[in-house]
């Protein structure tokens, strides 16, 4: 077992700067020669992708609503293997969870993993009031102490002095670990689903360097390392391999700027179930990988890359033929949109897609769905048997138009029009987390194993 330092960067609310702080801290620690493991509380895909840029390691989602406590703890320790420091970025405000409860909140993650909490406060337009805000967070849950505070958006040395004196006057209050200057140039750009993705971040390396310098200038890095307790990084015990393991099943996974929303644990569980994942790009590749026996089309931003996806007609035709061949396909959100007849983007331009499902998706200005989902399979399919349950998350601005008479509901009738099955193709708006039910990974891999390798054209 090796020693690990770990902490959780939380915020008072969304937009307070915790992502910039977490990224800057990860980049700063890596520059010091430390191996850093990133995590994100909640179901978000974009922040983990940015973490991967900063650390050079895949970031994992920690979600106590989607995952059982033991699975979450195992995931954390497994992912931390070989790391010196784990930096967990919170979601929304520290105590915000599922509905009005703290279930799935950053606070619950901190308690489950025994992590010290560092609270990022947007101190813009605040003086002494920052003490009242911090006092409320520090006393709200007596069982969850705040280890320290980072004040963001600090305008001047005078502003810093006021904040420092105000927080120092709190009886037994958490210490002020550092003040982060107001720096508009380090603000991460956003779009309709949140921050810009790692694949599309302009001059990403230079941006991370600026964030590292910004966090280092606060003087907080050494203080943060000092408060992070040493933990035993015990990886979960893996079962011994069978004496005569079967060959791995090759499964193509769409991964590029258009398809970059995937839980890292989903990929690991597929591999653990016997899959050999072969990445390909629907934006660049004109053919599917030779010999694959299944497809996993991840979510992402197909609407932003619709013209390029449409122009790649040779791959669209091959994917349509693959779907029609009754080989297993799992397509979630953006991947599901890609399998439809067309996508109408935010500018009203309609672009042809794969054309397997007789459905069209249209981008709307208003969000169409957001929230956790617990689903049950309505009938046997490549993901599992009838009645198999799983948890996930749904977030999209597109809506489905049309009707495919050959498609049947993927989930139970009470769960709305969020998924369809046609041939052996499962398409859904829900991003399922396989950690909520690992049997789905095993079932999908087994279904792919029964199919002959794709010969291509």
Q: Are residues 67 and 26 in the same domain?
A: yes
Q: Are residues 205 and 281 in the same domain?
A: no
Measured CA to CA in angstroms, residue 427 lies from 144, 235, 297, 387, 422 at distances of: 41, 34, 9, 17, 8
The parent domain of residue 197 ranges over 2-233
pLDDT of residue 196: 67
Q: Name the average pLDDT for the chain.
A: 91
- For residue 238, being part of any structural domain is answered with no
Contact predicate 62/87, CB 8 Å = no
Closest CA to 319 of 290, 295, 343, 302: 295
pLDDT of residue 204: 74
- For residue 243, being part of any structural domain is answered with no
Helix (H, G, I), strand (E, B) or coil at 393: strand
Percent of the chain with pLDDT over 70: 91
pLDDT of residue 435: 97
Q: Are residues 339 and 379 in the same domain?
A: yes
For the segment 76-86, the average pLDDT, to the nearest whole number, is 96
Q: Are residues 211 and 280 in the same domain?
A: no
pLDDT of residue 246: 83
Give catalytic residues, as residue numbers. Answer: 333
- For residue 106, being part of any structural domain is answered with yes
Q: Are residues 271 and 382 in the same domain?
A: yes
- For residue 135, being part of any structural domain is answered with yes
Q: Are residues 303 and 201 in the same domain?
A: no
To 5 degrees, how large is the angle CA 113–CA 116–CA 117? 110
- For residue 240, being part of any structural domain is answered with no
Residue 443 reports pLDDT greater than 80: yes
pLDDT of residue 194: 52
Q: Are residues 70 and 11 in the same domain?
A: yes
Residue 327 reports pLDDT greater than 60: yes
pLDDT of residue 330: 98
Q: Torsion angle of alpha carbons 116, 89, 41, 430, nearest 10°?
A: 180
Residue 234 reports pLDDT greater than 60: no
User: pLDDT grade, residue 243 (50/70/90)?
Assistant: very low
* Residue 239 exposed, middle or buried by CB count within 10 Å (0-12, 13-18, 19+): exposed
Range of weakest confidence among 220-224, 226-230, 333-337, 411-415:
411-415
Closest CA to 95 of 14, 150, 190, 167: 14
User: pLDDT grade, residue 216 (50/70/90)?
Assistant: very high
How many of the other CB atoms lie within 10 Å of CB of 215? 26
- For residue 306, being part of any structural domain is answered with yes
pLDDT of residue 240: 46
Closest CA to 139 of 88, 94, 78: 94
Number of domains in the chain: 2
For the stretch 248-276, pLDDT in tens is 999 999 999 999 999 999 999 999 999 99
Q: Are residues 315 and 261 in the same domain?
A: yes
Residue 152 reports pLDDT greater than 90: yes
For the stretch 295-309, pLDDT in tens is 999 999 999 999 999
Residue 457 reports pLDDT greater than 60: no
Contact predicate 39/88, CB 8 Å = yes
pTM value is: 0.91
Q: Are residues 286 and 362 in the same domain?
A: yes
pLDDT of residue 202: 61
User: pLDDT grade, residue 405 (50/70/90)?
Assistant: very high
Residue 408 reports pLDDT greater than 90: yes
**How far is 430 from 428, CA to CA, in rounded Å?**
5
- For residue 259, being part of any structural domain is answered with yes
Residue 334 reports pLDDT greater than 50: yes
Contact predicate 201/210, CB 8 Å = no
Q: Are residues 298 and 369 in the same domain?
A: yes
- For residue 412, being part of any structural domain is answered with yes
What CATH number does residue 166 fall under? 3.40.50.300
Q: Are residues 80 and 195 in the same domain?
A: yes
Tell me how far the alpha carbon of residue 60 is from its chain's centroid. 7
Domain termination site, one of 201, 233, 265:
233
What CATH number does residue 336 fall under? 3.40.50.880
Q: Are residues 297 and 358 in the same domain?
A: yes
**How far is 324 from 107, CA to CA, in rounded Å?**
46
DSSP string across 408-435: EESB-GGG-SSEEEETTEEEESSEEEGG
pLDDT of residue 368: 85
Q: Are strands 117-122 and 146-154 parallel, antiparallel or unpaired?
A: parallel
């Amino acid at each position: 077992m090796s020693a690990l330092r770990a902490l959780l960067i939380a915020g008072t609310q969304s937009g307070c700067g915790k992502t910039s702080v977490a990224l800057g801290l990860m980049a700063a620690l890596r520059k010091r020669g430390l191996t850093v493991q990133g995590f994100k509380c909640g179901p978000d895909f974009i922040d983990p992708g940015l973490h991967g840029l900063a650390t050079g390691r895949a970031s994992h989602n920690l979600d106590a609503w989607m995952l059982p406590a033991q699975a979450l703890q195992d995931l954390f320790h497994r992912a931390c293997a070989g790391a010196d420091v784990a930096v967990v970025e919170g979601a929304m405000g520290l105590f915000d969870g599922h509905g009005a409860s703290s279930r799935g909140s950053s606070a619950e993650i901190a308690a489950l993993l025994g992590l010290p909490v560092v609270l990022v406060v947007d101190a813009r337009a605040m003086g002494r009031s920052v003490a009242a805000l911090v006092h409320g967070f520090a006393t709200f849950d007596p069982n969850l102490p705040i280890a320290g505070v980072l004040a963001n958006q600090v305008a001047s040395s005078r502003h810093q002095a006021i904040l420092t004196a105000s927080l120092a006057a709190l009886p037994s209050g958490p210490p002020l670990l550092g003040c982060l200057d107001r720096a508009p140039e380090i603000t991460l750009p956003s779009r309709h689903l949140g921050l810009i993705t790692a694949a599309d971040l302009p001059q990403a390396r230079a941006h991370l360097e600026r964030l590292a310098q910004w966090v280092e200038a606060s003087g907080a890095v050494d203080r943060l390392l000092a408060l992070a307790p040493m933990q035993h990084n015990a990886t979960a015990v893996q079962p011994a391999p069978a004496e005569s393991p079967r060959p791995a099943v090759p499964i193509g996974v769409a991964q590029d700027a258009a398809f970059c929303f995937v839980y890292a644990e989903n990929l690991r569980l597929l591999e653990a179930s016997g899959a050999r994942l072969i990445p390909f790009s629907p934006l660049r590749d004109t053919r599917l990988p030779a010999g694959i026996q299944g497809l996993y089309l991840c979510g992402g931003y197909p609407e932003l890359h619709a013209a390029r996806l449409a122009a790649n007609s040779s791959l669209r035709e091959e994917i349509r033929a693959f779907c029609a061949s009754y080989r297993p396909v799992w397509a979630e959100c953006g991947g599901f949109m890609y399998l439809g007849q067309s996508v109408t983007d935010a500018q009203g331009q309609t672009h042809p897609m794969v054309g397997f499902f007789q459905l069209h998706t249209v981008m709307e200005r208003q969000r169409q769905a957001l929230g956790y989902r617990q689903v049950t399979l309505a009938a046997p399919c490549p993901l599992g048997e009838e009645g198999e349950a799983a948890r996930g998350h749904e977030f999209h601005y597109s809506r489905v138009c049309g009707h495919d008479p050959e498609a049947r509901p993927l989930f139970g009738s009470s769960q709305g029009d969020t998924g369809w099955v046609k041939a052996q193709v499962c398409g859904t708006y829900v991003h399922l987390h396989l950690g909520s039910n690992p049997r789905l990974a095993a079932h999908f891999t087994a279904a792919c194993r029964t199919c002959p390798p794709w010969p291509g054209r």
